[in-house]
Amino acid sequence: MIHRANIQPGFTCVGSNGANVGTVREVFDTYFRCDTGLLGLGQDLFIPLTSVDHIEGSKIFLQVPADRVSQMGWSQPPAEARPTVGAGTTGGFYGPMPGATETAGRPSVTRHRVQQGFTCTGSDNKKIGTVKEVYDTYFHCDTGFLGLGPDLYIPFDVVNRVEGENVSLNVPSDRVHQQGWDRRPGVGMR
């Protein structure tokens, strides 16, 4: 089996037929997140380490051809990584990971974790945009293709977690434009 230490962000992921699937964004204990599509604007894939056939340099070869990847059910993190509703679990979305995850309700801590260039995703794990600037109580997010969509000014109290270089909100991506975040709040920059 392939160990997570053998996979690094930036590695290229290809199907068993050698066709490109995407680029590794983050690596977790049992899977890795892969950006797909032009400039990483496609669907995120959460590929189990057990689906890796082999690694050559910085190229990860999967056990399935690239044209079958969309049929593998990898559009969500594995079940063991998702929260269990009503189970009384504590910690972040992926379980307790001190230092790796900050949870909602702690905006002063979260604010210091969010950095320019981080990816912002909705609660459905779909990309919303890229963090452009960080302020005291919110962050400015560029949206759309190449950042040409509407600017959003997202308050920290809707951040579900910050993990790696990803800021995940507690709002689905298809509802962010209905939240009134298209207007800049009147607070100072940090």
CA-wise closest residue to 163 among 26, 10, 6: 26
Both structure tokens of 132: 């452009």
- CB count within 10 Å of CB 53 equals 13
On whether residue 122 sits in a domain, the answer given is yes
**Do 56 and 106 share a structural domain?**
no
Residue that the structure tokens 């949870």 belong to:
103
**Do 127 and 60 share a structural domain?**
no
Question: What is the C-alpha separation between 57 and 20, in angstroms, rounded?
Answer: 15
- Per DSSP, 126 falls in state -
Find the CATH number of the domain harbouring 142.
Answer: 2.30.30.240
Question: What is the C-alpha separation between 23 and 19, in angstroms, rounded?
Answer: 12
On whether residue 23 sits in a domain, the answer given is yes
On whether residue 187 sits in a domain, the answer given is no
Quick one: CA dihedral 184, 185, 189, 190, positive or negative?
negative
Residues in the chain: 190
Domain boundary among 12, 46, 78: 78
Domain count, the chain: 2
On whether residue 22 sits in a domain, the answer given is yes
pLDDT of residue 110: 63
Q: How many CA atoms lie within 13 A of 134 on its CB side?
A: 18
pLDDT of residue 180: 87
**Do 126 and 166 share a structural domain?**
yes
pLDDT tier, 91 (very low <50, low <70, confident <90, very high otherwise) = very low
Q: Are strands 159-163 and 101-103 parallel, antiparallel or unpaired?
A: antiparallel
**Do 174 and 107 share a structural domain?**
yes
The residue among 94 and 56 whose pLDDT is bigger is 56
93 has which bridge partners? none
Stretch 131-141: mean pLDDT: 88
Please state, rounded to an integer, the average pLDDT across all residues of the chain.
77
**Do 169 and 112 share a structural domain?**
yes
On whether residue 164 sits in a domain, the answer given is yes
Stretch 155-171: mean pLDDT: 86
Written as one letter, the residue type at 91 is G
On whether residue 85 sits in a domain, the answer given is no
Residues 7/27, Cβ–Cβ less than 8 Å: yes
**Do 163 and 109 share a structural domain?**
yes
Instruction: Note down the domain range covering 14.
Output: 4-78
On whether residue 19 sits in a domain, the answer given is yes
**Do 154 and 105 share a structural domain?**
yes
Q: Are strands 127-134 and 12-14 parallel, antiparallel or unpaired?
A: unpaired
pLDDT of residue 186: 65
Question: What is the C-alpha separation between 176 and 89, in angstroms, rounded?
Answer: 27
Residues 91/97, Cβ–Cβ less than 8 Å: yes
Q: Which of 54-58, 79-83, 155-159 has the lowest mean pLDDT?
A: 79-83
**Do 171 and 108 share a structural domain?**
yes
On whether residue 44 sits in a domain, the answer given is yes
**Do 62 and 29 share a structural domain?**
yes
Domain boundary among 15, 46, 78: 78
